Amino acid sequence: MAFFAWLNDQLLRMDWLSYLVRLLLEDGFGLDTLSRVGASLHFFIYDVIKIFILLAVLIFSISWVQSYFPPERTRLILGRMRGVRANLMGALLGTITPFCSCSSIPLFIGFTGSGLPLGVTFSFLISSPLVDLASVILLASIFNWSIALAYVLVGIVLAVLGGSLISQARMERYVEGFVLHSKVLDLPPTQLTRRDRLQFAWEQVADVFSRVWLYVLIGVGIGAAIHNWIPQELISTLIGEDNWWSVPLATLVGVPMYADIFGTLPIAEALVAKGVGLGTALAFMMAVTALSLPSLIMLKKVVKGPLLALFFSIVLVGIVLIGYLFNSFAYLFI
């Protein structure tokens, strides 16, 4: 166990990187890393480099696996399933796609247009921005594996239940006509060479970096400010774990924002360090990634009001319940 703990600290938490950044700031620039300025710079530099290193490795690995499951092949696999099993597969598919909520919508259109059940495509749409493998590893690097795995489990359960409820509601009539009648190319799967897969994986890394780098910088910057400049008493008064309203407030605050999960993780880390409940911080993170205003606006273009309202209500209530759940049982994970 000691070896695995050491491996986790060095590979995921990157304690060696934290030490090098501290050495650089103290010996190279003469900054005290226990001061506000020094601690903020250490938090920012260390977290940014750590997140980008992990992102590059994880997105490359995930994309390599993805190269064996192009959308057409995935559609064929899902098309043979029905019921909860199909919803579960749709949710699991979302976990291996490193997409934000807006990027998931084109795939949602393609899956729906190809005849997949509406509930299955919504299970995918919920899980894709919420629970992807890269974010799981980053959660483990910031918190621990217990929290990361519990987060995955509740995220998949929410996606399956959400998709199942939408399926039972029979809301197909509230999908815009152009989605249901969109053309789908039924091409035979191509055999990719190793070089093709390498190129695809590197292209995915570059694409994800181009979409998330700014949000990572902003998120880490906000996290550094929360961690070192905002008084703990103020945060505890507003969204401390003893306040019953902290979870719904954090969820509602997160909805209008737009950021990738990689940008919200450092904020969640700083909030927990300041005494905010684990569930409150995770609820904020989930609301930003799954219910951001830009993604809802995009989704409104492909589904009608009643279906959008049902989707929003299910995910919102689910996030709040998950937040309370994590707050109540946080002692099991920390």
Going from N- to C-terminal start, the domains of the chain cover 82-182+212-332
- Residue in this structure with the two tokens 């053309």, named with its chain if needed: 183
Structural tokens at position 74: 């995935």
User: Distances from the Cα of 1 to the Cαs of 6, 8, 16, 146, 199, in angstroms?
Assistant: 9, 10, 20, 15, 38
How far is Cα 322 from Cα 220, in angstroms, rounded to an integer?
24
What values do phi and psi take at 255, rounded to 5? -60, -45
Name the nearest CA neighbour of 170 among 74, 310, 319: 310
DSSP 248-271: HHHHHHHTT----HHHHHHHHHHH
For residue 156, the model assigns a pLDDT of: 92
Phi-psi region of 240 (alpha: psi -120 to 50; beta: other; left: phi over 0): beta
Contacts of 1 (CB under 8 A, 6+ apart): none
Report the distance separating Cα 208 and Cα 58, nearest Å. Answer: 11
Distance CA 99, CA 125 (A): 10
Q: Residue 240: helix, strand or coil by DSSP?
A: strand
Q: Can you read off the two tokens belonging to residue 197? A: 């897969």
Both ends of the chain: CA-CA distance in Å? Answer: 17
Tokens representing 305 are: 């009001």
Asked if 251 contacts 317 with a C-beta cutoff of 8 angstroms, the reply is no
Predicted pLDDT at 136? 80
**Chain-centre distance of CA 133, in angstroms?**
9
Encoded tokens for 313: 């209500």
Q: Per-residue pLDDT tens for 278-320?
A: 999 999 888 888 887 777 777 787 788 898 899 999 999 999 9
User: What are the residue ranges in the chain where pLDDT is below 70?
Assistant: 1-4, 66, 69-81, 97-107, 110-111, 113-115, 178-191, 258-260, 334
* pLDDT value of position 186: 45
Q: What is the CA radius of gyration of the chain?
A: 21
Rounded CA gap, 235 and 271, in Å? 8
> What is the per-residue pLDDT for 187?
42
Q: What is the largest CA-CA distance in the chain?
A: 65
Q: How far is CA 306 from the centre of its chain?
A: 26
**144-163 per-position pLDDT tens digit:** 888 989 998 999 999 999 99
What pLDDT is stored for residue 268 in this prediction? 86
